[in-house]
Amino acid sequence: MSDPSMIDILKKAETGPICLENDFDRKVLLLKLKEVIKEYDIEFSRDNLIANDNSLADDVFNAAMNLYLETGTLCLSTHRQIKFDEAEIKETLRNAPKRIIFGEGSDAREMTPRQIEDQTPPLCLTSGGGEISEDIYIQVVQSYAQEPLADTVSGGCPLHTIFGMVPKAGTPAEVLASMYNVIYSKEGVKRAGRPGIGFHNLLGTALSAAGYISASQSEFGVRPVDGNLIASLAELKTDNNQLTKALYYSERKNIIPGAVYVPLMGGYAGGPVGTALVTLAHHLQGLLVHHVAYADFPVTHLKYSCSTTRETLWVASIVGQALSRNTHLLTASEAITAAGPCTEMCLYEVAASAIVGTVSGIHINNASAAKSQYLDRETGMEARMGCEVGHAATGMKRTDANELVTQILTKYEQKLDNPPLGRRFQECYDITTVTPSDEYISVYSQVKHELQELGLNLD
């Protein structure tokens, strides 16, 4: 048996079982979630954010497999379920990529599977996710690329405007902004002196397939050693727009297709356990439906709009461990912080997320600040913290990491209801030299010192 081709997927999207979205959410997803959670007796532990229990990780993986066998993926454009049998899923998992090269020359970086408590540092993907003004976009990308421990960078921050126009989805301005998103990103890494560095996500501005396809051209510097992310729609859904992107990348092979999942804890997936199962099922969906080679997942708390709560950190850890023990899938957990740049809280959030991903056997993506909701609130300093902490946590035991993250949580958990917004990029960096401000250096140094006092071996 071979993996389902994109043609097979398109046919399944047209011929699968008919299912309306409301029925899928309430009668298919919710009912099956309750069933598998009860069957496998999976519980969330507030005190064990990084679970030291291999059997729990295996149960979570098996429960997610059973969940996806029932739900499949709902195509919103055709109101049909794209479903797979167990043999198709297992065969596709066996054939999934085990190695990706991002970038070229001295900046080439290899992404390979990691193990729990791995002695090899994680690949440090660096990026933000909030909108950026067009006049500083190049400098923002440069601030990430110039970080010595950055293994990849991203153009994942959407352009706020292009030539003064708002790039609304489906408009010519969106296509134009998507092109310049790539052009500016490539210029940013050149100015950082790292033209060969790979992108794990080239494009944050595009929403439509037209935007993706128009910008994914070699004329703009796009290479087969760059990646771009296709979003899975929450929860366990896709549409013709996403399938068109997947089809284009599958046929052109001019870029590495990746996936981004943003499971919403507190939505239809429910609490931490349901969210963990849905997150794992999204990994199966990305592989089977969108034919991706790697994935990035920021588990987002519906109330706090961040991935750094106690519950979402547990989800990231158990998902990472479940994937590490049962597959060779290439994935990274992403930090979305509640607080904004140039605040101690933001840096503590990044540190907690980096430790969780590193020790749990996956790679890390550092970081989207200020809930990814505020203009110009992304800087390379958050990435610096995540990269340094990820390297420092390499080889750490789960029990030690759990104790450390629990202590870090005490420094910001009570502020999640009202996190500090911090400062804009223009206040955090000198725009001409693209160097961090004295204020941010001071804040960074203080947090780094306190992490060292907690026992993290930062140089």
Per-residue pLDDT tens over the stretch 298-344: 999 999 999 999 999 999 999 999 999 999 999 999 999 999 999 99
pLDDT > 70 in the chain, percent: 99
167-201 per-position pLDDT tens digit: 999 999 999 999 999 999 999 999 999 999 999 99
* Domains located in the chain, CATH noted: 6-95 (no CATH), 100-453 (3.20.20.460)
Phi, psi of 274 (to 5 degrees): -60, -40
Main-chain dihedrals φ then ψ at residue 68, nearest 5 degrees? -70, -30
Nearest one of 251, 178, 172, 179 to 219, comparing CA atoms: 179
List alpha helices for 72-150, DSSP H.
Answer: 86-95, 137-145
- In the chain, the percentage of residues whose pLDDT exceeds 90 is 96
> How confident is residue 1, by pLDDT bands cut at 50, 70 and 90?
very low
What pTM was estimated for this model as a whole? 0.97
pLDDT of residue 378: 98
Statement: residue 2 has pLDDT above 70? no
Query: How much is the pLDDT for 428?
Result: 98
Of 307, 108, 126, nearest to 201 by C-alpha is: 126
82-99 per-position pLDDT tens digit: 999 999 999 999 999 999
Q: What is the pLDDT confidence band of residue 374, given thresholds at 50, 70 and 90?
A: very high
Q: Could you tell me where the DSSP H helices lie in 327-397?
A: 344-359, 380-392
Position 329 scores a pLDDT of: 98
Amino acid at position 448, single letter: K
The residues, any chain, with a CB within 8 Å of residue 90's CB and separated by 6 or more, are none
In the numeric block, the tokens 């167990």 are attached to: 86
Q: pLDDT value at position 3?
A: 64
DSSP element (H, E) containing 197: none
pLDDT tens for residues 385-415? 999 999 999 999 999 999 999 999 999 999 9
Q: What is the pLDDT of residues 97-111, one digit of tens each?
A: 999 999 999 999 999
**What's the confidence (pLDDT) of residue 263?**
87
**Rounded CA gap, 52 and 294, in Å?**
25
Rounded Cα gap, residues 290 and 260, in angstroms = 11
Whether 261 shows a pLDDT value over 90: the answer reads yes
Give the model confidence (pLDDT) of 143-156 as tens digits. Answer: 999 999 999 999 99
Q: What are the tens digits of pLDDT across the range 200-259?
A: 999 999 989 999 999 999 999 999 999 999 999 989 999 999 999 999 999 988 999 999
pLDDT band (50, 70, 90) for residue 27: very high
268-288 pLDDT per residue, tens: 899 999 999 999 999 999 999
Strand partners, 126: 366
Does the pLDDT at position 22 exceed 70? yes
Mean pLDDT of 30-53: 96
The HSE-up count of residue 234 (CA atoms within 13 Å, CB side) is 19
- The strand pair at 124-126 and 363-368 is best described as parallel
Burial class (CB in 10 A: 0-12, 13-18, 19+), 22: exposed
Q: Which phi and psi angles does 75 have, rounded to 5°?
A: -90, 110
